[in-house]
Structure formats: C-alpha cells, structure tokens
Amino acid sequence: MTISSSPEYPASLQLTWPSQVLRGSAQVPASKSESNRALIIQALAGGGQLRNLSDANDTQLMERLLQDPAAATFDAEDAGTVMRFLTAYLAMTGRQTELVGTARMLERPIGVLVEALRQLGARIEYAGQEGYPPLRLQGRTPQPAEEDPTELTVRGDISSQYISALLMIGPTLPSGLRIWLTGKVGSRPYIRMTQALMQHFGAQCRDLGEVLEVRSQAYQPTDYTVEGDWSAASYWYAMVALAPAGSHLTLPTLRRYSWQGDQAIVGIMAQLGVQTEFLANESVRLTQTAPAAAVEQDFTDCPDLAQTVAVVAAALGVPTIMTGLESLRIKETDRIAALQQELAKFGGALTDEGEGRFRVSADGFEVKNQTVATYHDHRMAMAFAPLALRGPLTIEAPRVVRKSYPQFWQELGKIGFEVR
C-alpha cells in the first residue's frame, strides 16, 4: 500500500516483517528543525535560496504562513516551532493578527516567550487562558537605540524554542539583544543550531554559557542547503538494533559534523547494538553489533530521541536509566505517560524513580499483534513501528507521521515491510 499517494490515511496500519535480514538504503527527510529556522531567518533577511527543505507538514505550514504576511489569522495547527517562531517574528515585525492552533496547542505554555516579547515592545494579549495560545498581536512600540544591548532574563527549563525564537529576531532590534538564561537549559544543541544558521546569514552571535548576545545588524540574503534529519534517522537505528542478526542499512544526506543535537543517536545506539560508519558521500552505514549490558543516558539535549531509545531498550531487555525527560510532558502529548501506557502492552515499563530518573525494564517483552495508540504524536507512531521486526503490529492513526516524516510508511514498504 502506498500511503503517501493516498488522499486519506486509513484508521490503522498493520506492519509485518518477512523475517529476512534487514538490508538496503532508506531515505530520511530533510531536517524540520533546520528548515523552520532557515525559513524565519530567510524572511528576516529578505532573500536567499533554501535547498532541500523538509516536506514535513510543520515546514510546509511555516512556508505557507510566511507567504501570507497580511493574514488576519495564522493557524499554527499542532506545530510548536511554527507557533513560537511566528509569535516572535510577527510581533517584532509589527503585525496585527491572531495566532491560533489545535486544542493540544492551546494547552502548551507560551507565557515565557510572550513576557519576553512584551519587554521588547510587542503588544500581545491572550485571547483565552492566560499564558497559553491563542494570541492576539497588536503591533509593536518602537524602542530607541541604546549603547548596550536590550537585556532579557529567560527561563531555559521549559522549551529552547522560546530562546531560539528570541535569538532569531535579535539582529532586528535597534540595540541588539542580550539573554540571561536561568535554570537548567534543555535542548541546548537546538540553540547552537539557531546561532549557526543566524551566523550563516550574516548575524553575529556570542554564546557565553548563561548569557547569549546578538548584535544589531541586518541579515544578509544567503543560500543554504538543509541537512537530512537525525531525529528521523533514529527510527532506522532502532530497526537495525531490532532486526535479525547480520542486518545493516545505509542512510543518505547525514553529515559527520552536524548542527543537530539529535546526532547524539550515534553514541546512544552504539550502546544498544548499532555501529555507525560515516561515508565520504554524506551518508552513514549502520551495522548491528552486540548491545551493552546496561545503559544510562541524559536526554536533556536530545529529548526527541527518548521514545525511540525507550522502546529499543525494552525490546532488547537492556536495563536503561533515562534522565532529562522534563520537556516530554509538554510535547504533542504527555510522552512519558504515553510511553508508560504503550510499553505495558508488550511487557515493558518506564518507571519513575524520582528526582528525574526513569528506569526502562521488561518482563517477557513480546510482540504479538498488539495495537499501538499514537496520541496525536508522530514520534509515538515511528518509535513503536520498529517493533514489527519482532512480530506483527498495528499502529493507530498513522497519519500523524505527516508532521515530520510524511514518507515514513512508504519507506518501510520499500525496505521490505508489509504495510496493510
């Protein structure tokens, strides 16, 4: 079944694997994180060609909304980067409009970002619950140029997307921007990615640890080619780990020196039985090896990998301690609760041991045609799909993958899965 060419997704998909060794090449999408940042910066720069943009729904949505700057309402749907990046972009360009989203988006906090933007002169009101979308943007009060950068103090322990949103509009401020970070900063590699893309377009940024500085200056229109997505690659790592002995795969468009924090999957999966070889043509070869006896991993800088790793560890029976999962509570769903619910169907467990520590364990882990709920979360669908290498499996609401990896089910079919 070719899912991507069908106008409507089915209510569920059954996945089976014909038991042979897993071999071949799989195509990963372009990085959604790079694409959405590059689109905002390109808009602020007023030009530059972007190549290999992600075909994920979040990126297509961002592109469409940026092409309609005079809209009375912008619908960010369920896309966190779209909501947060557009809030800063529209506020600092003086737009008068409304930002809305799905029911789940209206439960995701945005107060930290709104308060910071208000300090920069943005006039923003909450159209519903205080601290949450929808937002009513009513323009901006111009600020005079000062000798020192405008200073903000921002919590870093909720979402790095707030910080990235502020950094990207920093060069447009008359005095630049200095951000003081408080608390534990999660997903710092995403902040570094933002700074690297800003510098590619001519901005000057300094990362001093707890202080980030951006000079006031115009972005320069510049071309950029987006890298393949390491978050998406993680699902293929999971498949190699769970496949029959002797399995290996090649993934193109992945760089050895990447700006993406989720390249951490290389080191994490080395502990769970997958060796990575970087090839000369910006591709990687994944080979199955023996997993470690036990794993302990901090996901503060790579929370989007947590679901993939938890499922693989449980399936392999490798006791694993996971920390740095705080932001998973406010993603597309409460990902910790969703993992606990779905792992239990197979004999796995994600146990809260207190003080931010979670233990992955399994008691007779078995795949025997269970049905996985996806909770409106693309990563739940793709994290559990590799279990089909161990037995038949049904995935509910498979359409969720369009958020970041629209071709996922088609790629499974190409590599040898039966997708019905």
Asked if pLDDT for residue 2 goes beyond 60, the answer is: no
**Tens digits of residue pLDDT in 296-305:** 999 999 999 9
**Tens digits of residue pLDDT in 56-113:** 999 999 999 999 878 999 999 999 999 999 999 999 999 999 999 999 999 999 999 9
Q: Is 223 annotated as a binding residue?
A: no
Lowest-confidence segment of 16-20, 178-182, 218-222 by average pLDDT: 16-20
How many degrees, rounded to 5, is the angle at CA 257 between CA 22 and CA 59?
Answer: 75
Distances (CA, A) of 243 to 214, 250, 289, 315: 47, 14, 11, 11
Residues paired with 124 in a beta bridge = 137
How many degrees, rounded to 5, is the angle at CA 105 between CA 104 and CA 106?
Answer: 90
When pLDDT is cut at 50, 70 and 90, the band that residue 158 belongs to is confident
When pLDDT is cut at 50, 70 and 90, the band that residue 186 belongs to is confident
When pLDDT is cut at 50, 70 and 90, the band that residue 1 belongs to is very low
Give the count of beta carbons closer than 10 Å to the beta carbon of residue 255. Answer: 15
Q: Tell me, what's the pLDDT at 165? A: 97
Cβ-Cβ contacts under 8 Å for 238 (sequence gap 6 or more): 269, 308, 311, 312, 383, 386
Q: Is 331 annotated as a binding residue?
A: yes
Asked if pLDDT for residue 5 goes beyond 50, the answer is: no
Mean pLDDT of 34-48: 97
Per-residue exposure over 293-316, b if at least 16 CB sit within 10 Å of its own CB, e if not = eebebebbbbbbbbbbbbbbbbbb
Which among 290, 275, 340 is positioned nearest to 314, based on CA atoms? 340
Cβ-Cβ contacts under 8 Å for 381 (sequence gap 6 or more): 372, 374, 395, 397, 398, 400, 401, 408
| Secondary-structure percent of the chain, ordered helix, strand, coil, rounded to 5 | 40, 25, 40
Q: Is 187 annotated as a binding residue?
A: yes
Structure tokens given for 376 = 């409106």
Asked if pLDDT for residue 359 goes beyond 70, the answer is: yes
The amino acid occupying position 169 is I
Dist CA 29 CA 56 (whole Å):
8
Lowest-confidence segment of 147-156, 357-366, 405-414 by average pLDDT: 147-156
Asked if pLDDT for residue 7 goes beyond 50, the answer is: no
Do 75 and 134 touch, CB atoms closer than 8 A?
no
Asked if pLDDT for residue 9 goes beyond 80, the answer is: no
Beta strand pairing call for 274-279 and 283-288: antiparallel
Q: Is 32 annotated as a binding residue?
A: yes
Cβ-Cβ contacts under 8 Å for 54 (sequence gap 6 or more): 29, 30, 31, 32, 34, 35, 36, 226, 229, 404
Lowest-confidence segment of 48-52, 143-147, 299-303 by average pLDDT: 143-147
Do 327 and 299 touch, CB atoms closer than 8 A?
no
Residues with active-site annotation: 304
Please report how the helices 57-66 and 32-45 are oriented relative to each other, as an axis angle in degrees rounded to 10: 10
When pLDDT is cut at 50, 70 and 90, the band that residue 8 belongs to is low
When pLDDT is cut at 50, 70 and 90, the band that residue 330 belongs to is confident
Q: Is 304 annotated as a binding residue?
A: yes
Q: Is 379 annotated as a binding residue?
A: yes
| Chain mean position to CA 46 | 26
Which domains are present in the chain?
A: 3-29+228-419 (3.65.10.10), 32-224 (3.65.10.10)
Q: Tell me, what's the pLDDT at 159? A: 81
Mean pLDDT of 319-327: 95
**Tens digits of residue pLDDT in 231-287:** 999 999 999 999 999 999 999 999 999 999 999 999 999 999 999 999 998 999 999
Dist CA 245 CA 241 (whole Å):
9
**Tens digits of residue pLDDT in 369-401:** 999 999 999 999 999 999 999 999 999 999 999
Q: 3-class DSSP state for residue 304? A: helix
| Chain mean position to CA 160 | 11
The amino acid occupying position 396 is E
Please report how the helices 111-119 and 80-92 are oriented relative to each other, as an axis angle in degrees rounded to 10: 10
Structure tokens given for 83 = 């909501």
Residues paired with 359 in a beta bridge = 321, 351
Dist CA 21 CA 288 (whole Å):
11
Average pLDDT, the chain: 94
Q: How many helices (H) and strands (E) does the chain have?
A: 12, 21
Q: Is 129 annotated as a binding residue?
A: no
Q: Is 247 annotated as a binding residue?
A: no
Q: 3-class DSSP state for residue 315? A: helix
Bond into 134 cis (ω within 30): yes
- Per DSSP, the residues of 148-191 read SPEEEEEESSS-HHHHHHHHHHGGGSTT-EEEEEESPPP-HHHH
Q: Tell me, what's the pLDDT at 3? A: 45
Asked if pLDDT for residue 336 goes beyond 50, the answer is: yes
